[in-house]
Structure 1
Amino acid sequence: MLTLPTYENRLEPYSLIGEALTPRAPRVPLTRTAFAAAHVVSDPLRERDPWVGSPAVDWENTLKFRHWLWDQGLGLAEAMDTAQRGMGVDWATAKELIERTMKEAKAHPLKPRVACGAGTDQVPLENLKTNDDIVAAYTVQLEAIEAAGGQAILMASRALPAIGAGPDDYADVYGRLIRQAREPIILHWLGDMFDPELTGYWGSKDVSAASDAVLAIIESHAAKVDGIKISLLDQAHEEAFRARLPDGVRLYTGDDFNYADLIAGDGKHYSHALLGAFAAIAPVASQALEALAEGDMGTYHKLFAPTVPLSREIFKAPTRFYKAGIAFLAWLNDAQSHFIMPAGFQSSREIAHYAEVFRLADQARLLSKPEIAEERMGLLLKLHGIG
């Protein structure tokens, strides 16, 4: 039994339920594409001045977590915002991460699908003043991803809102990038709750107008667009948007609050997944999608239902700090050996949050090594003066 803090500033006893799922590969092929967006782990022995410069990555633990996801039949979204792009992880580190990950993925027996984030973050924002500047910056990363053998995700760039780009600018920039890509790409619409500097993406603060703008881009290049990931945390918008997509273009939900209903679909349309939440709930995600593929909707919803409060806690406002909760759960489940993140990001959430994540993860059957989880939660509590 542990004594855990609450949001009411009290200490309360908590005993583990102990009914965790055993992580495993699905028994049948999945009927949805499912990418889990993974985080990065820092090396506590080599890290110097963690708030300055490139992080000292713990490659063993970082790659160990990716194998843990792949072993459960999930794909990987690599070097995305979950990997702290622009919040502690620079392009030089991301490029090495992509190259190392792709090498590991090619050797993995399940041959997992990997899509990698291409952005503009190797160039200072003040130097990205024109469409040509932005295309050139994206191109460097796009070519690096293709050289490593990965599929490209064109991440939302802070540079476009910064220059006040309108819909025509987005059409120009994305059209040029899509045309030059070797293979179909995935677009990326990240809401301002994840990154305030992306407010007004696609050229308008009005979501309806922004939707029209990006759909026009997709329709103009449908053969070269695999899909679009939308992270606006708005189920009704996503359902309406995906119904307008051209045939063959996927909607990858990035809605970490409403993923269960969106993936299940409405009988006519459904979403695939590209989710940071799936990195946190991998055993449930894998086995729920297995149940969906087997037509067992009762098990699908029974597995996913208790993960929703957990995901809402991990992605609570300020939402951009959600990466810490994903790394915390990876540590509790022994998918990594410590809880140190680039730029000391583990300090971005408070101890009451981690205590609540611990409770909710247990109730969602996600603490697969309960003795280790309890020991590590106890260590974190002692660090915060609770013992």
Structure 2
Amino acid sequence: MAELDLPGHGRLRLREPAPLDLPAHPPASRTAFAAAHVVADPLGANAAGAPAALDWDATLAFRHRLWSLGLGVADAMDTAQRGMGLDWAATRELITRSGAAARAVGGRLACGVGTDQLTDPASSLSDITAAALSEVADAYEAQLAVVEAAGAQPVLMASRALNSRARGPEDFLRVYDGLIRQSARPVILHWLGAAFDPALAGYWGSADLDAATDTVLTLIREHPGRIDGIKVSLLDADREIALRRALPAGVRLYTGDDFHYLELIKGDELGHSDALLGVFDPIAGHAAAALHALDAGDTARYDALLGPTLPLARHLFAAPTYQYKTGVVFLAYLAGHQEHFTMVAGAQSGRSVPHLVELLRLADAAGVLPDPELAADRMRRYLALAGWSA
């Protein structure tokens, strides 16, 4: 029986998850990417500031799982610890390997194009380069070439280096204009709020989000047909909806809002958001089944599948939000998608024992733990290592 004692909560019996009608093909009514985490080599020297050592077999196996559910994979992004321990050398290899894996199975793949080679080792949020704008553009272009060679769709990631050097909106527009024009396929823009990375405060040249939105819309309108969409991670549903309604026809709004995805993806009479979400990593099965319920017009089933995951997501992404990767990897460990709870740059220490205990409780309530016995056993092992015993 999957029962265990939890500090501060007493005895918990983990529920058997309800069976899911899991699809094997992509949803038709929404475009959906799960931003995937990386699996560290547990015996590698994954200390803070050290080059990342990955378990490539486990890392790619998780991507194959996402593709098997019909989800696209968003790789080499912040969920994969870009800027928080995944250095450019490991990132480049990840993009290349994921590209080959995607081609082998016909999986959809988008990969982050950034500038983090300017600041390696990039394991600290305070590492902001002093590179000139031309160097920032060159760094972006070098990464774009890697992503295109892998056959992946480019996601032009928000850049700490650009944010630290740009003097105003015009500098952002100039750098992005050059990248968009030289990309061989339509790009996805990426607006990551300060909650996810404090070094990105004031992105697009203004701390005023209305002014920043105007800059983004100017950029998008200047490149018809060259921009697939924009991923927005501001955790502000009303602002996202307003931007979505202002986008030119054919440009997608990919929600990155891990607090309000239920309503944003479902949409309203004026449209909906597509998805590029870190939370889809730990709730991939529920997300895939829910999106296919939307295809069938069954919004009640959609709500029933995704609604219970919201408390889990809001705890997972609680402040400091950028530490959410620790919870994502912990849930992958509990669910049996990897054999250990070790992370690049030692980031397994990014959340407290009480936080992870509550994460287990909420994952159980959401029904996203496929093997309750395994989850209970691994939680007991974690708590024992932390120094607690019932």
Same fold (TM over 0.5): yes
After superposition, the C-alpha distances for 1:69-88 in whole angstroms (9 at most, x for unaligned) are 11111100000011111101
After superposition, the C-alpha distances for 1:298-325 in whole angstroms (9 at most, x for unaligned) are 0001111110000000000000000111
1:186 to 180, 185, 188: 188
Counterpart amino acid of 1:162? S
2:35 to 37, 41, 48: 37
Q: Match of 1:100? A: 97
Q: Is the 8 A contact 1:250 1:271 kept in 2?
A: yes
CA distance in 2: counterparts of 1:129 and 1:52, whole angstroms: 20
CA distance in 2: counterparts of 1:194 and 1:127, whole angstroms: 19
Q: Match of 2:289? A: 287
2:113 to 114, 118, 121: 118
After superposition, the C-alpha distances for 1:210-250 in whole angstroms (9 at most, x for unaligned) are 00001100000121000000000000000000000011100
Q: Is the 8 A contact 1:42 1:340 kept in 2?
A: yes
Q: What is the deviation of 1:28?
A: 7.4
1:278 to 263, 266, 280: 280
Q: Match of 2:123? A: none
Counterpart amino acid of 2:74? A
**Structure 2, unaligned runs of 5 or more:** 120-126
Q: Is the 8 A contact 1:21 1:366 kept in 2?
A: no
CA distance in 2: counterparts of 1:72 and 1:315, whole angstroms: 24
Q: Is the 8 A contact 2:46 2:53 kept in 1?
A: no
**Once superposed, which parts of structure 1, at least 4 consecutive aligned residues long, lie more than 2 Å away?**
19-30, 124-131
Q: Is the 8 A contact 1:161 1:201 kept in 2?
A: yes
Q: Match of 1:76? A: 73
Q: What is the deviation of 1:103?
A: 0.9
The 1:170/1:359 distance shift into structure 2, 3 A limit, reads same
2:242 to 240, 245, 254: 240
Q: Is the 8 A contact 2:188 2:227 kept in 1?
A: yes
2:339 to 334, 337, 344: 337
SS at 2:370's partner residue? Answer: coil
Counterpart amino acid of 1:61? A
Q: What is the deviation of 1:160?
A: 2.0
Q: Is the 8 A contact 1:321 1:348 kept in 2?
A: yes
- Decide which moves more: 83-92 or 329-338: 329-338
Q: Match of 1:362? A: 364
2:266 to 264, 274, 277: 264
CA distance in 1: counterparts of 2:216 and 2:25, whole angstroms: 37
Q: Is the 8 A contact 2:283 2:368 kept in 1?
A: yes
CA distance in 1: counterparts of 2:284 and 2:35, whole angstroms: 11
Counterpart amino acid of 2:370? S
Q: CA RMSD in A?
A: 1.5
Q: What is the deviation of 1:128?
A: 4.8
CA distance in 1: counterparts of 2:225 and 2:279, whole angstroms: 29
After superposition, the C-alpha distances for 1:74-116 in whole angstroms (9 at most, x for unaligned) are 10000001111110101110010011111111112xx221000
Q: Is the 8 A contact 1:20 1:362 kept in 2?
A: no
Counterpart amino acid of 1:223? G
Q: Is the 8 A contact 1:21 1:283 kept in 2?
A: no
The 1:19/1:120 distance shift into structure 2, 3 A limit, reads same
Query: Is the counterpart of residue 229 in structure 1 residue 227 in structure 2?
Result: no
The number of residue pairs the alignment matches comes to 380
Q: Match of 2:45? A: 48
CA distance in 2: counterparts of 1:94 and 1:28, whole angstroms: 26
Query: Is the counterpart of residue 58 in structure 1 residue 55 in structure 2?
Result: yes
Q: What is the deviation of 1:183?
A: 0.4
**Structure 1, unaligned runs of 5 or more:** none
TM-score (norm 1): 0.95
SS at 1:303's partner residue? Answer: helix
Counterpart amino acid of 2:42? P
Counterpart amino acid of 1:165? R
The 1:211/1:158 distance shift into structure 2, 3 A limit, reads same
The 1:127/1:257 distance shift into structure 2, 3 A limit, reads closer
The 1:30/1:379 distance shift into structure 2, 3 A limit, reads farther
TM-score (norm 2): 0.94
